[in-house]
Amino acid sequence: MKSNRTLYHGGKEIVKFPEIRIAKYNKDFYFGFYCTNFKEQAERWASRYGSVGVVNEYSYEPSENLRVLVFPDMTEDWLDFIVSCRLGNSHDYDIVEGPMANDTVFNYVQSFADGEISRAAFWELAKFKRPTHQISFHTARALATLEFLRAYEVKAS
C-alpha cells in the first residue's frame, strides 16, 4: 500500500477544490491540474505572476484503481508523449507524472517537434537543466485523491 505524500500547486489564488481547466495552450501532459513534489518549484510557479503568489499544499493518496503513467526521468518515451500532448493529442490516463519541460526545455521540445533540431541535439541541450517534477490530474476520480491542507503567500524575488 502506497502512503500519502505532499504535493504543491503554485498559482495566483487559493485552490481548495482543484479543477481541470481547458487552457489556451496545450500543456506537457495535456489539460489537467498540475502539482509538484518540489516546494521551491511551486513557489517559483506562484511568484511568476508578479509581486505575490499562492502555494497550495495537498495530501495525495495514490489509488490503484486509476490509470497512472509515470516517467521517472526524461526518456525517449517522455519526449514523444510531451510532443504529442503539446500538439493537442489527448490521452486516457487519470494521472501522469514525470519531469517538466520548463520554458527552456519546452523551447527545445518545440524545436524538435518542428524538425529544427534532431533528437540527439534535443538530448544534448536538455541534459544540463536542473531536475523538475510535475504530476497532473486529468479526471474527477484523479482529483479525488487530493486533499487540500493549506495555502500560503509567496513574494517574487
Give the per-residue pLDDT at 66.
Answer: 98
How far is 96 from 9, CA to CA, in rounded Å? Answer: 15
How far is 87 from 24, CA to CA, in rounded Å? Answer: 13
- Residue 32: count other Cβ atoms within 10 Å of its Cβ: 26
Q: Mean pLDDT across the stretch 89-96?
A: 96
With a cut of 70, say whether residue 43 has pLDDT above it.
yes
Number of domains in the chain: 1
Listed in sequence order, the residues at least 6 apart from 62 whose beta carbon sits closer than 8 Å to its beta carbon are: 2, 68, 145
Specify whether the CB–CB gap between 68 and 135 falls below 8 A. Answer: no
How far is 114 from 116, CA to CA, in rounded Å? Answer: 6
pLDDT, tens digit (0-9, with 9 covering 90-100), for 50-63: 778 999 999 999 99
With a cut of 70, say whether residue 79 has pLDDT above it.
yes
Q: What is the 3-state secondary structure (H, E, C) of 88-152?
A: CCCCCCCEEEECCCCHHHHHHHHHHHCCCCCHHHHHHHHCCCCCCCEEEECCHHHHCCEEEEEEE
Q: Mean pLDDT across the stretch 138-155?
A: 97
- Domain range holding 136? 5-155
Q: Between these two residues, 92 and 122, which has the higher pLDDT value? A: 92
